[in-house]
Amino acid sequence: MGANCCGSTPAFEGVSADYKRRLWAVIAINATMFFVEMGAGALAGSQALQADALDFLGDTLTYGISLAVIGSALRVRAWAAFAKALSLTLMGLWVLGATAYHVLVLGIPRAEVMGIVGLLALAANVASVLLLVKYKDGDANVRSVWLCSRNDAIGNVAVMVAAVAVWATATKWPDLVVAAAMAGLFLMSSAKILKQALAELRSGQVSSDTLLEHR
């Protein structure tokens, strides 16, 4: 389903009833977990939980956009992926800024809430990853969906590690370190999606120019 180095095999574009059903299921999972985790993050005073909740929100929007542009022209799908990459960049920068701010705020997150909600979020993300792993390779639009799901699973493992570290050290620093690391993950994923989207936009332009030359 993925493109090879010579480009002879087209990348999977998401035009599959099975893929759409899986995407709808993942959208529902992520939307639910955004509300659960944002509320729990506020209750526990955990920046890492709130950062992870924002990742759930970003994924929900990403999957919705991905679903909307399936079957569209390559340029439309590439621009959609480009927009999603920019949103990931903004989320990463917001989390970095919020983490820097919380360094100056007193208060230790509630480790027990972080651990319980982190475990629930991990279960939700593992379910999403299992639903989407069959379609992890494809165009920038499909690829962005997989990267966001993978980020969620990694993020939830990190939140649980932070919860144990907060409990063991009785300080807020593990929580802040995890939040900053997750922001970095957002930015790295954004860079990957942007690179593939730009390549597809250039490819689409080349194809259009070639078509015009042969008319």
Q: Burial level of 170, CB count in 10 A (0-12/13-18/19+)?
A: exposed
CATH 3.30.160 is right for the domain spanning 17-208: no
Q: Measuring CA to CA, which residue among 150, 151, 145, 140 is closest to residue 196? A: 140
Model pTM score: 0.62
E strand spans, the chain? none
The average pLDDT across 139-159 equals: 75
- Check residue 105 and give its pLDDT: 55
- The tally of CA atoms less than 13 A away on the side-chain side of residue 96 is 12
pLDDT tens for 111-127 read: 667 677 778 888 888 88
Residue spans per domain, the chain: 17-208
d(CA 28, CA 60): 8
pLDDT tens for 155-212 read: 777 777 777 777 777 777 777 777 777 777 778 877 877 887 788 778 765 444 443 3
The dihedral sign for the CA sequence 67, 72, 73, 79: negative
